[in-house]
Amino acid sequence: MISPEKHQRMANAIRFLAMDAVEKANSGHPGLPMGAADIATVLFSRYLKFDPKNPLWPDRDRFVLSAGHGSMLLYSLLYLTGYEDMTIEDIKQFRQLGSKTAGHPEYGHASGIETTTGPLGQGIANAVGMAIAERKLAEEFGSELQSHFTYALVGDGCLMEGISQEAIALAGHLKLNKLVVFWDDNKITIDGAVSLSDSTDQIARLKSAHWNTIEIDGHDQDAIAAAIEAAHKSDRPTFIACRTIIGFGAPNKQGTHKVHGSPLGAEEIAAARKSLNWESEAFVVPADVLDTWRLAGLRSTKARKEWEERLASSDAEKRAEFNRRFAGELPGSFDTTIDAFKKKIAANNPTVATRKASEDALEVINGLLPETLGGSADLTPSNNTKTSQMKAITPTDFSGRYMHYGIREHGMAAAMNGISLHGGLIPYAGGFLIFSDYCRPSVRLAALMGIRVVHVWTHDSIGVGEDGPTHQPVEHYAALRAIPNLLLFRPADETETAECWQIALKEKHRPSGLALTRQNLTPARTEYEEKNLSAYGAYELISASDAKVSIFASGSEVELAIKAQQTLAAKGISARVVSVPCFELFFEQSADYQKAIIGNAPVKIAVEAGIRQGWDAFIGNDGAFIGMKSFGASAPAKDLFKHFGITVEAVVSAAEAKLA
């Protein structure tokens, strides 16, 4: 038990590191770290199970600072508890170029940062995913290897963002009782009092979602401790409303929006030092306080060593599987299994929609990889994401491998990030491509963090048909291709779909999206090829050494390109066809390869049922583009392709016009 005086000095160490770092940078948010310091001190010094000497210990508790603008809270804690890669010099370099202490916590920049936060609401949804992963892996490997809590600290902004409701509702439904969320209830936002924009009864809201709720004074260490202990005994996720004073300790600015996102100023910091009886200079933590914090950082060493002993003494096969999965490695037989599947496809050459081709690939993949955790945003029959191995996860039974996320694309995508970040599982889930807009903030963060998440986006074009323009993606290929470090695949048939899945699962450090058709497609590849041609991003499907025309296409339009090539050949015009399943991979190939694939044909044509943006890299400014220039319409798919001029005849006419 830490005395009130010792607790206060430990909390004040956080407060002064935060205010001094923000002051030096002349940028940042001191208010939250100062207000939430008591909560963090109790959690990190008495309850959080972690080991700074072994930051990736798989059974550590996870802490997510959802209110990422308060990053100095986390940076201070990492330094104080003894993470070796967080030094006082790093604290001094807050928000500077190349610093580990960025404006918001960034995953991978320093040990102990479990996820990148900043876009409000994302963190709590990540935490829900982490809690899902813990519960699922505990079911699979036993509580002796997986039994830990996920904690998140949220602010009013996190709770106002709509994604929070999706995450909260899902967690309540699943009874994720090892999820504990602290609400820094300081009643202040950037504009001023929360009452300017919101009057939600958050306790009632959480109760309605079947959470355990507790209200406390966020500056009372005994109340904080009692709340955490009560949360540990709950059969539901717990929401602890901590009434705090933003900027606690700054006598003239605390409790106001002036302390939220601006440096306090030298005068106010001096006043705070006097108010809190803190005599140390900037960036100096008294030796006795630092020693106490460092001891707190060592508190779980025994628990970690005991866990390592349990892992070492577990069944050899179980231990090997656990280690493989937390290393993120695929089984050694993965490539040969996909190769055998490709041989089977070539033997049958099925005419299927690529959403069905994806299901066929997943049937093979899910049979081999026990770590895949599938799901859908209430579109399972349309996305074809549930295979024979995928029993549904329920609130009372986590032995399954399939998540019914409900109509919650925002929350689903962010939870998938949390599942991936936790380790031990590879999440994939489905939705319509049009609703990738709802997933986009989480997809962007997955790309920023460099994590393995796979999105299955079906109904990928005007081929959706009768659902009309609200459901027909037009600009979405271009929009997703604009996200750095995201792989967007648009396979043309079953073989390419299998290859794209193979690539996506082997990519440990970037997310992928598969844009898949509703309508059936004639096979573009009819012969078995050992190489994964899709891994080149673009490859020559039909060659012609004397080509006058090069036709580039992706997805369903590859079929049109092939037929156009045949029509042109019948007319004595030599043409070649290039399938382009993934822009990003193509532009990672050598300059010579790119030049060879783009070729020297005087006429270049691209065909895709989306907007032109991005295709000029293949066809140049003067190339012909057969695609969309507007939103879609409601009609049968074949009528729409004809109406919008995405046809074999249009490709042929464009080629002839350019050659004339």
Q: How many helices (H) and strands (E) does the chain have?
A: 26, 18
CB-side exposure of 495: number of CA atoms within 13 Å? 25
Half-sphere exposure of 181 (CA within 13 A, CB side): 35
Find the helix or strand (DSSP H, E) in which 655 lies.
helix 648-659
Alpha-carbon distance 656 to 600, whole Å?
17
Beta strands at 624-626 and 549-553: parallel, antiparallel or unpaired: unpaired
The Cα–Cα gap between 642 and 485 comes to: 35
Nearest to 498 by CA among 388, 389, 365: 365
Which are the contacts of 368, defined by CB distance < 8 A and separation ≥ 6?
A: 331, 333, 334, 337
Kind of pairing between the strands at 539-542 and 549-553: unpaired
Closest residue by Cα to residue 22 from 186, 247, 245, 189:
247
β-pair partners for 64:
152
* Cβ contact 216:241 at 8 Å: yes
Q: How many residues does the chain have?
A: 660
Residue 43 CB neighbour total at 10 angstroms: 22
Catalytic (active-site) positions? 409
Q: Which residues contact residue 496 at a Cβ distance below 8 angstroms, ignoring those fewer than 6 apart?
A: 354, 524, 525, 533, 534, 579, 581
